[in-house]
Amino acid sequence: MKCPYCSSEEDKVLDSRPVQDGSAIRRRRECLKCGRRFTTYEYVERMPLMVIKRDGRHEPYDRQKVVNGIVLACRKRPVGRNEIERLVDALERRLEEEGRVEVSSAEIGELVLEQLIGIDPVAYVRFASVYRQFTSPEQFVEELRKIRKEARGVRGE
């Protein structure tokens, strides 16, 4: 493994542990040349998931794009980075368990919304407004009505 600081390929592993429900290994390493420490992750190589965009284009799934969209929706909300990572892990695990090799960007958005509503309703509305391309205040109001109706149904009101 190449050191990200000095590019040396000589290091030693200080600690290894399973992460992401055992689907990855986190390794803490120390460069033998510069002495700096860094973390690497080891994953099983899988068939790349392809995303079908709204315009019909296909592109490789990019976890960071999903994370960035959720982070933006959760900005200044009491939602931690670990919670966001768990949400994306669950989304990826679900697609993997289904054996998917292609998924529409619309389906990814819906899966995120399913999880986000239980984490933070404000972040949910923010994400929905971008994902569903709201163009009027009425669309926000309608989404809020749906949330309130679902919340009442859960509480039995």
pTM to 2 decimal places: 0.63
Q: Helix axis angle, 121-131 relative to 63-73, nearest 10°? A: 120
Structural contact between residues 126 and 73, judged by C-beta atoms closer than 8 angstroms: yes
| Residue 154 pLDDT > 70 | no
Q: Which residue has the higher pLDDT, 115 or 150?
A: 115
pLDDT band at 15, cuts 50/70/90? very high
Q: Is the dihedral of CA 98, 104, 109, 110 positive or negative?
A: negative
Cα angle at 43 between 40 and 44, to 5 degrees?
155
Tell me, what's the pLDDT at 112?
A: 95
13: β partners: 29
pLDDT 10s digits, 38-62? 999 998 776 788 999 989 999 999 9
Nearby residues of 45 by Cβ (< 8 Å), 6 or more positions away:
none
